[in-house]
Amino acid sequence: MKRRHFLGAATALGAGAFLSPQAFANSRTPARVVIVGGGWGGLSAARYLREFAPQLEVTLLERNASFWSCPLSNHWLVGRVDGALLSHDYRAAAQRWGYRFVQAEVSQIDRDARLVVTEAERIAYDWLVLAVGIRHDYAAWFGADHDTIAYTRQHYPSAYTPGAEFPRLRDKLTEFKGGDLLMTIPPQPFRCPPAPYERAVMIAGWLEQRKVPGRLIILDANPPFQEFQRVFREHFPKRIEYHTQMKIVAVDPRRRTVECEFDSFGFDEAILIPPQQAASLAWQADLIGRDENSRPGGWAAVDPLSFAARRDARVFMVGDMIDRVSSLFGHYPKSGQMASRQGRIVARQIAARAAGAAAPLELPDSLCHITTQFDPPAALRIAASYRLRGDGELIQQTKTQRDPQPRGEDLAWAQGMFREFLAP
Ligand SMILES: Cc1cc2nc3c(=O)[nH]c(=O)nc-3n(C[C@H](O)[C@H](O)[C@H](O)COP(=O)(O)OP(=O)(O)OC[C@H]3O[C@@H](n4cnc5c(N)ncnc54)[C@H](O)[C@@H]3O)c2cc1C
């Protein structure tokens, strides 16, 4: 019997009746936590659950065979870091921290029966952690034209979620011999807002270094990112054409054109990043927040401090999938460190509930090292921290520092994070 099937059989069905938190504390059967998504949020939840509540049975489900880090992937795309730094073994991490890992795509959450459904099995949970990240809203460009969506994914990958699109984009860049390379930047909110600009700097610098006669055309749906606008202007005046506040009205990947409200663009090669939303499982589980007219807003609704789903106290959600949490600052930053911190907070929440106790207040934080110049390198350090005001309002403080002489801080940060939730 394969390990995955054995593990599945051990946890399948027989969900058991509802137990109160106190009953959990007294029960001899270990309560079951199922985590879906082995990214920054899910892996951190799994690791800290084992530390904070070793009596709980923890299962992590992930569709990919190995972990892939989006942070530093822009450097990898142009050969500046080794893939071995970014790719990690899930089974080694599970063994190190002592939880079960099952490689499987979760197709359905049955919240009434408290079951997670994959092709091979149905796994019961007492608490569920969803850390499934984002999905691309290609429907905003192509409606229900699934052929064109598949064509776009295949030919113009965004490389914005862990998986096969990264090597595909790298191959395309390597084969790019010149002409117009177009990149779209989606409207906020989206995963790691500085990342597409960093990618632009990497690609432009790399084309320059290899003397490829190519030009990068950026269609940004947002107002200008000033730091990068300056870099593009000063360092790549001939390489980068930066258009801001571009509202895309039509994309034709076969004819290689993008039509905006007031202008049209052709391209030879492209990185087409469409608008983003919470990943599909949050939609299937009916956990998406709604606006004042009851229309789904696109992101998963949680309590900003406990990360419990607004619609189900048995479900916690962390990372890039979650909705805005504040009328003052909107969304938590959609960053790896933020997802990881939220995973740790949720582990504490579940551990406390399992013990019939209240969880201590813990607020997340975020830190991002973003490369702004190719050669000589320069970087931005963007930090966000949080506090509760006297009236209970959550306050965000952000600090952006220029680092004109980075010395591997980004690598050191990533390696520190990986040590926290993987087995590097
Ligand atoms: C190019 C780029 C550069 C970035 N740089 C930085 C940086 O420098 N610093 C930083 O802090 N952040 C950075 N980020 C952002 C960071 O990658 C994300 O914030 C982080 O990955 C969010 O973690 P998550 O757990 O929410 O989602 P993810 O890491 O995407 O994990 C979600 C996981 O869920 C799995 N999954 C989804 N649905 C299912 C399903 N139905 N069944 C099974 N598995 C499923 C996915 O396969 C995936 O592994 C960058 C992102 C990009 C794209």
CB atoms within 10 A of CB 52: 18
Would you state the pLDDT for residue 234?
Answer: 97
Residues with CB under 6 A from ligand 1: 36-42, 61-64, 70-71, 73-74, 105-106, 131-133, 160-162, 191-192, 195, 279, 281, 319-321, 334-337, 339, 368-369
pLDDT (tens digit, 9 = 90+) per residue, 318-332? 999 999 999 999 999
How many residues are there in the chain?
424
Return the SS3 of 391: coil
* 111 vs 22, higher pLDDT: 111
Interatomic CA distance for residues 200 and 185, integer angstroms = 11
Identify the pLDDT of residue 376.
93
Q: Domain locations in the chain?
A: 3-133+279-360, 143-275, 367-411
Report which ligand 1 atom has the smallest distance to the Cα of 73. Answer: 1
Termini Cα distance of the chain: 28
pLDDT value at residue 27: 58
What residues contact residue 149 under an 8 Å CB cut-off, 6+ apart?
138, 139, 142
- Asked whether 47 and 39 are in contact (CB, 8 A), the reply is no
> What distance lies between CA 215 and its chain's CA centroid?
29
Q: What percent of the chain has pLDDT over 70?
A: 93
For residue 76, the model assigns a pLDDT of 98
CA atoms of 66 and 125, how far apart (whole Å):
24
* Cα 169 to averaged position of ligand 1 atoms, centre (Å): 17
pLDDT of 29 reads: 80
pLDDT at residue number 246: 98
pLDDT computed for residue 26 by the predictor: 55
What pLDDT is stored for residue 10 in this prediction? 36
On average, the pLDDT of the chain sits at: 94
Class of domain 3-133+279-360: alpha beta
Is residue 120 predicted with pLDDT exceeding 50?
A: yes
Of residues 160, 161, 157, the one with CA closest to residue 172? 157
Please check the confidence at residue 17 and state whether its pLDDT lies above 60: no
Is a pLDDT exceeding 70 seen at residue 346? Answer: yes
Q: Measuring from atom 35 of ligand 1, which residue has the nearest CA?
A: 37
Q: What is the pLDDT of residues 40-95, one digit of tens each?
A: 999 999 999 999 999 999 999 999 999 999 999 999 999 999 999 999 999 999 99
- For ligand 1, atom 3, the nearest C-alpha belongs to 71
> For residue 241, how far is its CA from the centre of ligand 1 (angstroms)?
28
pTM over 0.85: yes
Residue at 306: amino acid letter: S
* Protein residue whose Cα sits closest to atom 33 of ligand 1: 37
Contacts of 374 (CB under 8 A, 6+ apart): 201, 202, 204, 205, 206, 208, 209, 235
In this prediction, residues 278-290 reach a mean pLDDT of: 98
Say how far apart CA 415 and CA 424 lie, in whole Å.
8
Q: What pLDDT score does 23 carry? A: 52
Q: Ligand 1, from 67, 86, 87, 320: best to mutate by most atoms within 8 Å of Cβ?
A: 320
Q: Does 143-275 match 3-133+279-360 at the fold level?
A: yes
Which of the following CATH numbers is that of domain 143-275: 3.30.930.10, 3.50.50.60, 2.30.30.830, 3.40.50.620? 3.50.50.60
- The pLDDT confidence band at residue 22, using thresholds 50, 70 and 90, is low
pLDDT, one tens digit per residue, over 244-264 is 999 999 999 999 999 999 999
Element housing 415 (H / E): helix 409-421
pLDDT band with cut points at 50, 70 and 90 for residue 286: very high
